């Protein structure tokens, strides 16, 4: 018996097969000093009516990414089953311990939930949670929208994102779903550390997968929440769960999402050492290969010169550095280019 068939230790307070609106909690066991039989309660809302596809909306996989928490929570509170044909499963605040701790990683086990898939029901808290999502929730799901931002670590241009799917039909469906979501950019990427993410589990099951990056810098991005909420509703309309036309007009006057890609490793700029990084550009700005990306300062050393970092690729800044202090090997910029299918890798 593989890990995915082992029984989850998490109890689910609602029945995904029942019609109407159900709101409750997943109850995940967590032994602690104040309670050996203690649990962590994780909000879950399921809205089901008639027949149609099942959409999974997840927020708070990382605890310091606020726009998804807000957008999915609001939809979970307000979505009327009478307006739906199909099923919407919402986990607006999955990683409750990290959310309450305001951190990317879980304070319970120090793990990144989004690097624990497909999980293990007998593993650490994050592994147990990942296993529940993979083994109990995903078998119901046709379409997954996982709402992220760049958290404290960076600032992102407002975007959906997707893996380069090797199946052309799935790639087309996913790009169409991204265009319907209607963020300013949709970023196709590959070749990063993705083996244990929620997206990897979703894709392994043949489910359409879309992620987002809707801000960052450790604060609520006003436009990120607006684009996120509009995008969730657009998605339900696009897949026929909800009536109405999608609304994808952009602030800059363009009518639709601009499809982009992260071409290769040269699009990622990493800090060569620990220090204080002074970026020169904001996410969404156009940058040139060879142009100064910023300076790495060593303010604790008298007269030590700052190190200037340069972009290796021209394009639009998808991710810009945020926190000031960086470690050696931290990404401080990610450059994206207009999408070209001929330049992508499976
Ligand atoms: Zn995230």
Q: Compute the distance from residue 51 Cα to the ligand 1 centre, in Å.
A: 32
Q: Compute the distance from residue 63 Cα to the ligand 1 centre, in Å.
A: 8
pLDDT for 193 equals 64
pLDDT for 210 equals 97
DSSP secondary structure of 46-91: EEEESS--EEEEEE-SSTT-HHHHHHHHHHHHH--GGG-SEEEEEE
Buried b (16+ CB within 10 A) or exposed e, 87-104: bbbbbbbbbbbbbeeebb
Q: Compute the distance from residue 273 Cα to the ligand 1 centre, in Å.
A: 24
Q: Compute the distance from residue 65 Cα to the ligand 1 centre, in Å.
A: 6
The answer to whether the beta carbons of residues 44 and 13 sit under 8 Å apart is: yes
**CB proximity list for 292: less than 8 A, separation 6 or greater:** 280, 308, 309, 310
Topology adopted by domain 265-343: OB fold (Dihydrolipoamide Acetyltransferase, E2P) (2.40.50)
H or E element that contains 168: helix 168-181
Q: Compute the distance from residue 99 Cα to the ligand 1 centre, in Å.
A: 12
**CB proximity list for 86: less than 8 A, separation 6 or greater:** 48, 49, 50, 51, 52, 53, 54, 55, 239, 240, 241
Q: Compute the distance from residue 104 Cα to the ligand 1 centre, in Å.
A: 7
Q: Compute the distance from residue 258 Cα to the ligand 1 centre, in Å.
A: 22
Q: Compute the distance from residue 150 Cα to the ligand 1 centre, in Å.
A: 6
Q: 45, 130, 137, 59: which is closest to 93 by C-alpha?
A: 59
d(CA 146, CA 179): 16
pLDDT for 1 equals 44
Q: Compute the distance from residue 236 Cα to the ligand 1 centre, in Å.
A: 22
Considering the four listed CATH numbers 3.40.190.10, 3.40.630.10, 1.20.1740.10, 3.40.710.10, the one that applies to the domain covering 3-261 is 3.40.630.10
d(CA 195, CA 217): 26
Neighbours of 158 (CB within 10 A): 24
Q: Compute the distance from residue 11 Cα to the ligand 1 centre, in Å.
A: 25
Q: Compute the distance from residue 188 Cα to the ligand 1 centre, in Å.
A: 16
pLDDT for 313 equals 97
Six-digit token string for 106: 């879980």
Can you give the C-alpha Rg of the chain in angstroms?
A: 20
Question: pLDDT per position in the chain (346 positions), as tens?
Answer: 454 557 999 999 899 999 999 999 999 999 999 999 999 999 999 999 999 999 999 999 999 999 999 999 999 999 999 999 999 999 999 999 999 999 999 999 999 999 999 999 999 999 999 999 999 999 999 999 999 999 988 999 999 999 998 899 999 999 999 999 999 999 998 876 677 999 999 999 999 999 999 999 999 999 999 999 999 999 999 999 999 999 999 988 998 999 999 999 999 999 999 999 999 999 999 999 999 999 999 999 999 999 999 999 999 999 998 778 999 999 999 999 999 988 887 5
Q: Compute the distance from residue 210 Cα to the ligand 1 centre, in Å.
A: 13
d(CA 294, CA 308): 6
What are the sequence ranges of the domains in the chain?
3-261, 265-343
Q: Compute the distance from residue 334 Cα to the ligand 1 centre, in Å.
A: 15
Q: 88, 114, 285, 258: which is closest to 181 by C-alpha?
A: 258
Q: Compute the distance from residue 146 Cα to the ligand 1 centre, in Å.
A: 9
Q: 21, 16, 12: which is closest to 75 by C-alpha?
A: 21
Q: Compute the distance from residue 300 Cα to the ligand 1 centre, in Å.
A: 32
pLDDT for 295 equals 97
Q: Compute the distance from residue 158 Cα to the ligand 1 centre, in Å.
A: 13
Q: Compute the distance from residue 299 Cα to the ligand 1 centre, in Å.
A: 30
d(CA 184, CA 123): 39
Q: Compute the distance from residue 5 Cα to the ligand 1 centre, in Å.
A: 27
CA 89, 93, 96, 98 dihedral sign is positive
């Amino acid at each position: 018996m593989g890990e995915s068939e082992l029984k989850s230790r998490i109890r689910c307070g609602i029945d995904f097969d029942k019609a109407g609106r159900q709101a409750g909690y997943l109850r995940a066991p967590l032994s602690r000093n104040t309670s050996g039989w203690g649990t962590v309660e994780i909000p879950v809302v399921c809205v089901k009516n008639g027949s149609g596809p099942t959409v999974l909306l997840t927020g708070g996989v990382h605890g310091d990414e606020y726009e998804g928490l807000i957008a999915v929570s609001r939809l979970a509170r307000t979505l009327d089953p009478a307006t739906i044909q199909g099923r919407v499963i919402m986990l607006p605040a999955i990683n409750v311990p990290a959310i309450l701790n305001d951190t990317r990683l879980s304070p319970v086990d120090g793990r990144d939930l989004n690097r624990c898939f497909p999980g293990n029901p007998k593993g650490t808290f994050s592994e147990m949670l990942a296993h529940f999502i993979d083994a109990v929730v995903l078998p119901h799901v046709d379409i997954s929208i996982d709402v992220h931002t760049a958290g404290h670590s960076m600032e992102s241009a407002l975007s959906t994102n997707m893996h380069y799917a090797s199946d052309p039909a799935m790639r087309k469906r996913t790009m169409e779903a991204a265009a319907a979501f209607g963020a300013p950019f949709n970023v196709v990427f590959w070749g990063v550390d993705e083996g244990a993410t929620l997206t990897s589990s979703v894709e392994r099951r043949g489910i359409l997968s879309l992620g987002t990056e809707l801000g960052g810098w450790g604060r609520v991005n006003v436009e990120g929440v607006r684009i996120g909420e509009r995008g969730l509703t657009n998605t339900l309309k696009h897949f026929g769960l909800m009536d109405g036309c999608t609304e994808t007009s952009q602030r800059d006057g363009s009518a639709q999402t601009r499809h982009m890609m992260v071409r290769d490793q040269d699009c990622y700029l990493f800090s060569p050492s620990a220090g204080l990084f002074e970026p020169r550009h904001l996410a969404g700005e156009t940058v040139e290969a060879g142009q100064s990306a910023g300076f790495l300062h060593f303010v604790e050393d008298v007269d030590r010169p700052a190190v200037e970092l340069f972009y290796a690729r021209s394009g639009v800044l998808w991710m810009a550095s945020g926190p000031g202090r960086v470690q050696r090997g931290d990404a401080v910029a990610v450059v994206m280019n207009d999408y070209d299918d001929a330049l992508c890798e499976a």
